[in-house]
A and B are shown apart, each in its own frame.
Chain A
């Protein structure tokens, strides 16, 4: 039986506005709620919160499973297991958001950037930053309760910034993956290390940047390192002891299904990292985890074949790590189009779906029971595919491959979207995603593999066109694949997106603005200049009956609330 805390409906586009007005939203009970009822629910939550705080409540797996029952908290990277990044709080809404004001700023002073989404638990925020620094803050004031700095070796291999995307939480501990490929449990009252597990050899290019995902009593985490010729994997650790329970290699070894999709020994250095958080369907006990590029990222020669399970979505049994099904978005990728976008779970007309706006420029809807493709529609500028196979999957043009002197393809290596998390708003039924229109000239050259060294087999660089890069926030309709509205940024941004029951969309821009927009129309309602580019996903929480919205910008964390 399917768990009812999943979103129960995708309202039709025509009904979106009405839903917003009448506040028909899925609730924890799966029943529609009126605005009054929902406010009552919120008050109940706040009351419960007071009780929980005084009791110093543990974060049980049951609480995470039913995160919709406590909208004042934010218990996973995406806010719920479905990956919707949707807050049920509605104190801040379209009619009052213009009064939103900064409450506090926490500066890490680390330089670099925060890519993490803070967790909020009973009045405390848990966040990670540059160089695997981590901290717990008083959510009302921003004052730190503890600080943790992981001691990193000098010679780590951080391909793409010394970044981290946040914690997972269970019981009395928070869990962190590090740039030297450790998985660490910290005491959530003190930041003390409770266990520290070495997952792989960082000198070979393995690292963690992802926010882990806790399912039941297990910490699930995927590895980074697709730029170094690693062999990707997804690991599960016992939250109590740190003992590894299972490992799923995203590149199958000899004798395993999919192994013949690799030429010769190329599987040993095949990449397929798993560096962004997956989602979970409790009804089927399946974890959905996306994977990244095959290595070397921009050279297909030497790894002939589809290169499974690179650029795929994997449906794994959460207890055993056994593969139930997979869907590969980009076969034999040569453009660095990692499929590492958060797979969003929604239900519509009795169908259990997964939405993923993919880095390759197509918006995919899959049936999450079978892994079969439902639809794939371009949602940004793309030139690599002009046809689809029998299942409806976009297939690459013959001449889309990189050449020695360079060949221009859209999207570029940074993709139509990237790791920045999208949001699904059950009130409008739309998926909101940050996008980029940019084409790159992809060049390729032979490169010998050398352990621990960068292994791209290529270069890519901006195409020599007058056309500037363009960045958007787009509202996609899962039913049709249509772009319902778009907001064009001054330049492309790396910000994630949050939707709230207040009818709002929050996002950030590359110039440092944090922005609120009207969810049904895309109209800009409010903005604040933080002074730092946004590379993180926004979230919302409440303390003492007051709703806050939080965003990391630069290396600082900002919160906002009504006066």
Chain B
């Protein structure tokens, strides 16, 4: 960069000195510990304690939290964004603020910067998806029939999880696993502040008092009531004690896509499409 303004030039010369003088602040755009080799290591300890429960060891994503090794993240771009997200959480998601609600132990500003240094050290350069995103889109809305249950950016069905952001938040392997073996780890649905765990996409079958049998996915449930959606996208709400029968299953309503239903190559195209949407 060529700087024509002399005053600005002087300011830039003094910037490193200013950074040394000023203590770490949330307003910093850059991690003040970015060049401290010890910070990433210290951040790993903090990450294990505060973050790994949801985001997994190595920040590769757990059942609950997204993969953080992706360079491109949904809720944060700069270090300052990350600081804000870790400090305050993300409203409407399971991501809590620092030390709130029993998660984590309450970190100092420096400890948060250490975690950011660690996350940055774990990031892998976005490997260009090997598949063909355009063909993936055709599959999603066509032959593979994904859109009958899943919605992306306002287009598609209602029964399964909304997938606009999944390409940005889940690892390649996690998406493969969800398609090939959807019952192994059920997707998470509604997150309520009053519930420790988000509702999962369990399958529920009920028989009503008048003998009608209804099968669907649980939108929500407590000890005494259940709210569900059937394959026709009808919402039903029941008090359990008024039902003739109620049973739950962890066999997902989503069919398992084997090689015959969706070849590896087509799956890669689909993942490329999800990635292209998610990182927009």
Question: Does A204 interact with chain B (Cβ within 8 Å)?
Answer: no
Q: Are A461 and B105 in contact (CB under 8 A)?
A: no
Q: How far is the CA of A227 from the CA of B50 in the complex (A)?
A: 12
Question: Does A94 interact with chain B (Cβ within 8 Å)?
Answer: no
Q: How far is the CA of A454 from the CA of B192 in the complex (A)?
A: 28
Distance of A265 from chain B, by nearest CB (Å): 20
Known: A490-B222, A512-B222, A527-B223. A459 touches B195 (CB 8 A): no
Chain B residues contacting A531 (CB-CB under 8 Å) are: 194
Q: Are B224 and A462 in contact (CB under 8 A)?
A: no
Distance of B103 from chain A, by nearest CB (Å): 9
Question: Does B48 interact with chain A (Cβ within 8 Å)?
Answer: yes
Q: Are A456 and B53 in contact (CB under 8 A)?
A: no
**Chain A residues numbered 515-563 whose CB sits less than 8 Å from any CB in chain B:** 515, 524, 527, 529, 531-533, 554
Q: How far is the CA of A187 from the CA of B9 in the complex (A)?
A: 63
Distance of A65 from chain B, by nearest CB (Å): 35
**Chain A residues numbered 452-468 whose CB sits less than 8 Å from any CB in chain B:** 453-454, 456, 458-462, 464, 466, 468
Question: Does A389 interact with chain B (Cβ within 8 Å)?
Answer: no
Q: Are B100 and A491 in contact (CB under 8 A)?
A: no
Q: Mark B89-101, 1 if CB is under 8 A from A, else 0.
A: 0000000000111
* Choice from A453, A461, A489, A529 contacting B53 with Cβ under 8 Å: A461
Chain A residues contacting B196 (CB-CB under 8 Å) are: 491-492, 494, 510, 533
Known: A511-B194, A511-B222, A554-B194. A460 touches B53 (CB 8 A): yes
Q: Helix, strand, loop or mixed for chain A's interface?
A: loop
Known: A466-B183, A510-B195. A158 touches B99 (CB 8 A): yes
Distance of A19 from chain B, by nearest CB (Å): 28
Pick from B26-34, B55-63, B268-276 the stretch touching chain A.
B55-63
Question: Does A155 interact with chain B (Cβ within 8 Å)?
Answer: yes
Chain B residues contacting A240 (CB-CB under 8 Å) are: none
The interface size of chain A toward B, counting residues with CB under 8 Å, comes to 47
Q: How far is the CA of A447 from the CA of B46 in the complex (A)?
A: 10
Q: How far is the CA of A112 from the CA of B54 in the complex (A)?
A: 20
Q: How far is the CA of A162 from the CA of B62 in the complex (A)?
A: 26
Q: How far is the CA of A112 from the CA of B45 in the complex (A)?
A: 26
Q: How far is the CA of A512 from the CA of B196 in the complex (A)?
A: 11
Chain A residues contacting B47 (CB-CB under 8 Å) are: 459
Question: Does A159 interact with chain B (Cβ within 8 Å)?
Answer: yes
Q: Are A443 and B105 in contact (CB under 8 A)?
A: no
Question: Does A161 interact with chain B (Cβ within 8 Å)?
Answer: yes
Q: Are A454 and B223 in contact (CB under 8 A)?
A: no
Closest-by-CB residue of B relative to A467 is: B250
Q: Are B53 and A512 in contact (CB under 8 A)?
A: no
Known: A155-B108, A161-B101, A512-B194. A468 touches B222 (CB 8 A): no
Chain B residues contacting A161 (CB-CB under 8 Å) are: 100-102
Q: Are B106 and A158 in contact (CB under 8 A)?
A: yes
* Choice from A160, A443, A510 contacting B48 with Cβ under 8 Å: A443
Known: A159-B105, A469-B197, A511-B194. A459 touches B223 (CB 8 A): no
Q: Are A458 and B222 in contact (CB under 8 A)?
A: no
Question: Does B111 interact with chain A (Cβ within 8 Å)?
Answer: yes
Distance of A145 from chain B, by nearest CB (Å): 29
Question: Does B49 interact with chain A (Cβ within 8 Å)?
Answer: yes
Known: A112-B101, A443-B48, A533-B195. A459 touches B53 (CB 8 A): yes
Question: Does A474 interact with chain B (Cβ within 8 Å)?
Answer: no
Closest-by-CB residue of B relative to A453 is: B111
Q: Helix, strand, loop or mixed for chain B's interface?
A: loop
Closest-by-CB residue of B relative to A228 is: B105
The interface size of chain B toward A, counting residues with CB under 8 Å, comes to 38
Q: Are A462 and B223 in contact (CB under 8 A)?
A: no
Closest-by-CB residue of A relative to B183 is: A466
Q: Are B102 and A459 in contact (CB under 8 A)?
A: no
Q: Are A491 and B57 in contact (CB under 8 A)?
A: no
Closest-by-CB residue of B relative to A493 is: B196
Q: Are B194 and A533 in contact (CB under 8 A)?
A: yes
Distance of A209 from chain B, by nearest CB (Å): 11
Known: A112-B101, A159-B106, A513-B224. A459 touches B197 (CB 8 A): no
Question: Does A406 interact with chain B (Cβ within 8 Å)?
Answer: yes
Known: A456-B48, A456-B49, A461-B56. A511 touches B223 (CB 8 A): yes
Distance of A481 from chain B, by nearest CB (Å): 27
Q: How far is the CA of A385 from the CA of B161 in the complex (A)?
A: 40
Q: Are B52 and A529 in contact (CB under 8 A)?
A: no
Q: Are B221 and A459 in contact (CB under 8 A)?
A: no
Q: Are A491 and B105 in contact (CB under 8 A)?
A: no
Distance of B253 from chain A, by nearest CB (Å): 16
Question: Does A445 interact with chain B (Cβ within 8 Å)?
Answer: yes
Question: Does A157 interact with chain B (Cβ within 8 Å)?
Answer: yes
Q: Are A491 and B197 in contact (CB under 8 A)?
A: yes
Chain B residues contacting A162 (CB-CB under 8 Å) are: 99-100
Closest-by-CB residue of A relative to B196 is: A510
Q: Are B222 and A513 in contact (CB under 8 A)?
A: yes
Question: Does A281 interact with chain B (Cβ within 8 Å)?
Answer: no
Q: How far is the CA of A405 from the CA of B63 in the complex (A)?
A: 17
24 A-B contacts, Cβ less than 8 Å apart?
A158-B99, A159-B105, A159-B106, A160-B105, A228-B105, A443-B52, A445-B45, A454-B106, A454-B107, A456-B48, A458-B48, A459-B49, A460-B53, A462-B63, A466-B183, A468-B200, A492-B196, A510-B196, A511-B221, A511-B223, A513-B223, A527-B223, A527-B224, A533-B195
List 7 A-B pairs, minimum CB-CB distance, nearest first. Answer: A511-B222, A459-B48, A454-B105, A459-B52, A161-B102, A533-B194, A461-B53
A-side interface residues toward B, CB under 8 Å? 112-113, 155-162, 227-228, 405-406, 443, 445, 447, 453-454, 456, 458-462, 464, 466, 468-469, 489-492, 494, 509-513, 515, 524, 527, 529, 531-533, 554
Q: With A456-B105, A491-B195 given, can you name 12 additional A-B contacts, CB distance below 8 Å? A: A161-B100, A162-B100, A453-B111, A456-B49, A469-B197, A490-B222, A509-B223, A511-B194, A511-B222, A527-B224, A531-B194, A532-B194
